[in-house]
Amino acid sequence: MSDRTETLRSQRTPYVLATVVRAERPTSAKTGDRALVLPDGTMEGFVGGECAESAVRDQALRLLASGESTLLRITPGADSSPLDGMVTVTNPCLSGGTLDVFLETVIPPALVTVHGDGPVARALVDVGRAAGFDARPAGAAEPPRPDAAAVVVATHGRDEEALLTAALRAGVPYVGLIASRKRGAAVTASLEDGDRVRTPAGLDIGARTAPEIALSVLAEILARRPAPEHAPAPTPAPREADQPEGGGHCCG
């Protein structure tokens, strides 16, 4: 499982790691069983039968939208002792036992690509990594990655229009240009959708040094990122009439 999670991290694929932390018999899952839930609903591993798997998948997909983690209790009857922060799903499809499953959501850090090799460009990469971004230097001919959260151009006049145009066409959420207000306005005036380019990039915090400018740009990226969705309440448990023939003993 560790090799698989490392591969997902290197591919910048979000996932939820589901771990059974408590199994009250009779259940087919045991404490320590684990599974991965991917954004397309694919599950790899084992955390119980069909009904337990369905409950874990449904909640995991909600958590991928919010970026949150939670403890999920799957129980065949009313839970008389819910814990703070626990999500409880009443699922009569279980064989009579209760499962507590910790759902850990792993979201790749925001990818920030930086064009340029000057002091500000280097500071953007260094400060960005220290702040938890996936900040990477990019070459002049390197196209924007489809999963980039931000592209910052700090090339001091070299290839600026081409780099900005590529980022805008790729739909990158944040496109920034390191330039004076006058030069930045002149560059973006010739671009289609040039009003989407943040220039001078960064919040106005009185930044002067390269690290301060980098900090102001990263703060602006944070300020403009979309707010995460909050995970909605789980769907109601299936009614007895909806259960597969044979009752709860099929899926626990």
Q: What is the pLDDT of residues 192-201, one digit of tens each?
A: 999 999 999 9
For 134-173, the DSSP string reads EEEEE-TTPPPPTTEEEEEE-STTSSHHHHHHHHHHTT-S
Summarised one tens digit per residue, pLDDT across range 2-22 is: 899 999 988 889 999 999 999
Contacts of 236 (CB under 8 A, 6+ apart): none
Domains along the sequence of the chain with CATH = 2-108 (no CATH), 111-224 (3.40.50.720)
Q: How confident is the model at residue 134 (pLDDT cuts 50, 70, 90)?
A: very high
- Is pTM beyond 0.75? Reply is no
d(CA 68, CA 66): 5
Interatomic CA distance for residues 212 and 220, integer angstroms: 12
Q: Which residues contact 173 (CB under 8 A, 6 or more apart)?
A: 149, 150, 224, 225, 226
Sign of the alpha-carbon torsion through 209, 211, 216, 221: positive
Q: What is the pLDDT of residue 249?
A: 38
